[in-house]
Structure formats: C-alpha cells, structure tokens
Amino acid sequence: MKDLIAVRVSVIDDDKALCAAIGDWLGSERYDVEAFNAARSALSAFAQHAPDLGLIDLRLPDMEAPAAVAELRKLAPHTRLIGLVAFPEPAEVAAALQAGANGVLEKPIRRAALLDEIRRQLAAIGIVMRTEGAFNAWLGAGLRELRQSRQRTQSEIATLAGITAAQLSQIELGRTGTSTWTLARICAALKTPLDRLFTRP
C-alpha cells in the first residue's frame, strides 16, 4: 500500500511453529515477513537482499549463534538483529550482543513484547511510524502541546501564521497533512525552532 512504509523482517528459527506464529503476528501488522529454518539459508538471502530487521534463534543447529550473528551483521550492516532464546545464559547473551545483535528477547515469545521490541529497533533506524495518518496525528499532537504550553489560542497562532483557525484545528487533530512552509510559519508564531517539533519523543 502506498501509504505504508514497507518493513521487511526475516525470522531465522528451526521451530516452524514459532516462525508461523511470528509470521501471523507481524503479517497482521502489515510487515513483510520471510522465515528461514537454518542460519545458512538466511545468509544467502541476506546477501541478496537484506531485511530491515532480523529475528534469529541463538541456538540454531547448523551454526553457532555468535558466528551466525557476526556473518549476518557483515552481510547486512544496517539490519537490526534481535536474538531469540529460551532460558538465556548471561555469557550467551553477551556473545550475541558482542557479535552484533541489537537486542535479545526471551522465549516463549509474547506478541506484545515482540511488537514493542520491533518498534524500538525500527525507531533506531528512523522508522518511528509507518503511515501518513500516524505521522499527521503525531505532528498535530506536537503542535497542540507546543501551543498549549505557550498558552496561546488556535485563533492567535493561526492569525500569526497566516492560516485559518479551522486549518490549524485540522492540523492539530491530525486530520490533514501540511507543507513544511506552513509548519515553519506555525513554529515561528509559537517562537519555537522547527526542528524541535521533529526531535521530541
């Protein structure tokens, strides 16, 4: 869909049922998911087209986890890698992180924890939200917070920015997109640098 930032996720685990469950969970969130049941098959796929994010079992039968993670990291330096492991041992986790994993999730994997971790990892590469509607809502909420912190009405800021109060209301509600120039005028009216709007949490 054109309104969605595409995100490719590779799942590398010899547990086919877990791969299917993760595929269902992530598919329902509109991620593109590909599953591999061995490290070596994932390596050849990474070499062809690296995903945005990889989930890798730290106890795969065909390759030691640190070596697999290091090789994946070499093939795909920008891919975020999350290790998956049951009853993790500190040395095992440390070795995976040292090899290049960006995080570790404990099995059994819970859907909510997995989605939270994926969102955190994607935020690290600049994918904070994936739809235009979500972006507009986030931007509008930021403008509303700034305006309220300055104790100014919509009418006052709209007049200073050269737009109507109705336009500002729609922007704050996230119901419409707006141009960078309009945002710059609104931020000037709020006496706030434009970049502050985009660097807030």
Low-confidence winner among 74-78, 131-135, 142-146, 153-157 (lowest mean pLDDT): 131-135
Task: Find out whether 26 and 9 touch, Cβ atoms under 8 Å.
Answer: yes
Task: Find out whether 9 and 49 touch, Cβ atoms under 8 Å.
Answer: no
Angstrom distance (rounded) from CA 120 to CA 94:
20
Reported as a single tens digit per residue, the pLDDT across 4-60 is 889 999 999 999 999 999 999 999 999 999 999 999 999 989 989 999 999 999 999
What is the structure's pLDDT at 1? 45
- Fold of the domain spanning 132-199: 434 Repressor (Amino-terminal Domain) (1.10.260)
Is 38 or 200 the better-scoring residue by pLDDT?
38
- Domain ranges in the chain are 8-124, 132-199
Angstrom distance (rounded) from CA 13 to CA 17:
9
Helix boundaries (H) for the chain: 16-28, 39-48, 65-75, 90-99, 111-124, 132-149, 154-161, 165-172, 180-189, 194-199
With 0-12 / 13-18 / 19 or more C-beta atoms within 10 angstroms meaning exposed / middle / buried, residue 19 is buried
| Domain made up of 8-124: CATH architecture | 3-Layer(aba) Sandwich (3.40)
* Residue in this structure with the two tokens 């065909």, named with its chain if needed: 62
Reported as a single tens digit per residue, the pLDDT across 48-98 is 999 999 999 999 999 999 999 999 999 999 999 999 999 999 999 999 999
What value, to the nearest 5°, has the Cα angle with vertex 160 and ends 155 and 166? Answer: 35
pTM of the model: 0.73
Does 116 have pLDDT greater than 70? yes
